[in-house]
Amino acid sequence: MSSHPALTERALSVLARQVGTARSEWRRRWLSYVPTVAFVVLATFAAVTSDAFLSQGNLSNLFKQIFTNGLISLGMLVVILSAGIDLSVGATVALAGIVAAGLLNMLPWPIAIPLAVAVATVAGGLNGTLVAWFRLPPFVATLATMSAIRGFVYVVSETPITPNESAFRQLVASNVGPVPTVAIFMVGCFLLVSFFLRQTTMGRAIYAIGGNEEAVRLAGINVRAHVMLAYLISGMFAGLAGVILASRVGIAQPSVGAGFELDAIAACVIGGASLAGGRGSVRGTFAGVLLLGLISNLLNLYSVQAYYQQIFKGALIVLAVLARRREG
């Protein structure tokens, strides 16, 4: 009989933990839908209050504007899942654009574009080497490469370069029906990365590394190789974004990309990614990209000064972090 109180106490403790876990899981799932719900609410508000919002021209511009942050955010998500960060993506965008524009004046675009993306991927590999093999903190390593890559871009060209290849400049201008080609390409990239992270051994390993790197290492998984892969993916997507951006605006500028890394981090965090690693989703990041793009589009429609976008962006990040501070 004397053991009953102890047994009851243990049973209550187990029950409390189970209830706490269930609540945490329910809360996490509910919060994962917040960016999508916010996007729907804002889009509905815009459709009701602005005649221009649902016009084909505005929707086409919206998707063309968000593709850059969409591609960069995809690469950033993979790095964040591995408990890293990549502050060099903005400079890498500029590098890929300048290299692509320069090569297009000498080579056909089917050769010039892959080479430019390859250069950006190598830049991502440099980050991976510093983080995985030299064990530098990701913030410090990518902050250093951000400065170095930006300087290298200006060494390549101090002035903007205009590509002469007309086919290259038409890459973004084409549509499939009413939908811009770049929007279809971006959605395809999101689906591909979602499959990679959820259905492949390498993708699941990147998730696991962000959750517990030491446990992954003890399980016999090559942590360095997978961290390197994460930064290579980030560099590749930044390169794709830089090439397509140069095609969209018709010119490659060495100064482009400043602050792009903050937009990408914001999209990931708003979408539910944890900067501590191991938590985040492609679906959530896509919702974060759409939400940030919609806010910018609405501010433009209502002729609100551009710097208010930074205020909203900062507020969204703070709210997203505060909302998830008890998850675990």
Read off the pLDDT of residues 150-179 as tens digits, 9 standing for 90 and up: 999 999 999 999 988 777 777 777 787 778
Question: How far is the C-alpha of 311 from the C-alpha of 192, rounded, in Å?
Answer: 32
**Confidence check: pLDDT of 216 > 60:** yes
CA atoms within 13 A on the CB side of 116: 36
Question: How far is the C-alpha of 135 from the C-alpha of 177, rounded, in Å?
Answer: 49
Q: What is the mean pLDDT of residues 2-10?
A: 55
Task: Note the pLDDT of residue 4.
Answer: 54
Element (H, E) at 176: strand 175-176
The DSSP call for residue 161 is B
Q: Distances from the Cα of 35 to the Cαs of 31, 32, 264, 323, in angstroms?
A: 8, 7, 15, 12
Q: Inter-axis angle of helices 223-249 and 109-128, to 10 degrees? A: 140
Question: How far is the C-alpha of 228 from the C-alpha of 133, rounded, in Å?
Answer: 9
Please write down the long-range contacts of 198-202, taking CB distance under 8 Å and 24 or more positions apart.
202/226, 202/229
User: In this structure, is the dihedral angle defined by the CA atoms of residues 189, 89, 85 and 268, taken in order, positive or negative?
Assistant: negative
112-146 pLDDT, tens digit each: 999 999 999 999 999 999 999 999 999 999 999 99
Angle among Cα 42, 261, 263 to the nearest 5 degrees reads: 5
List, in order of start, the domains of the chain with CATH numbers.
Answer: 55-323 (1.10.3470)
Across 33-42, 218-227, 290-299, the highest mean pLDDT is recorded for 218-227
Question: How far is the C-alpha of 81 from the C-alpha of 316, rounded, in Å?
Answer: 20
Task: Note the pLDDT of residue 2.
Answer: 47
Q: Side chain identity at 231, as an amino acid letter?
A: Y
8 A C-beta contact, residue 260 and residue 68: yes
| Residue linked to tokens 């016999």 | 220
**Confidence check: pLDDT of 41 > 50:** yes
pTM, to two decimals = 0.88
- Beta strand 175-176 pairing with 179-180: antiparallel
| Residue linked to tokens 């499959």 | 195
Closest to 71 measured CA to CA, from 179, 152, 190, 175: 190
> Radius of gyration of the chain from Cα atoms?
22
Q: Collapsing DSSP states into helix, strand and coil, what is residue 93?
A: helix
Question: How far is the C-alpha of 164 from the C-alpha of 143, rounded, in Å?
Answer: 33
Task: Note the pLDDT of residue 163.
Answer: 86
Torsion of CA 238, 243, 245, 251, to 10 degrees: 140
Closest to 275 measured CA to CA, from 218, 135, 38, 267: 267
Residues present in the chain in total: 328
194 C-beta neighbours (distance < 10 Å), count: 17
Q: Place 55 in a pLDDT band, splitting at 50, 70 and 90.
A: confident
Backbone angles phi, psi at 275, to 5 degrees: -70, -10
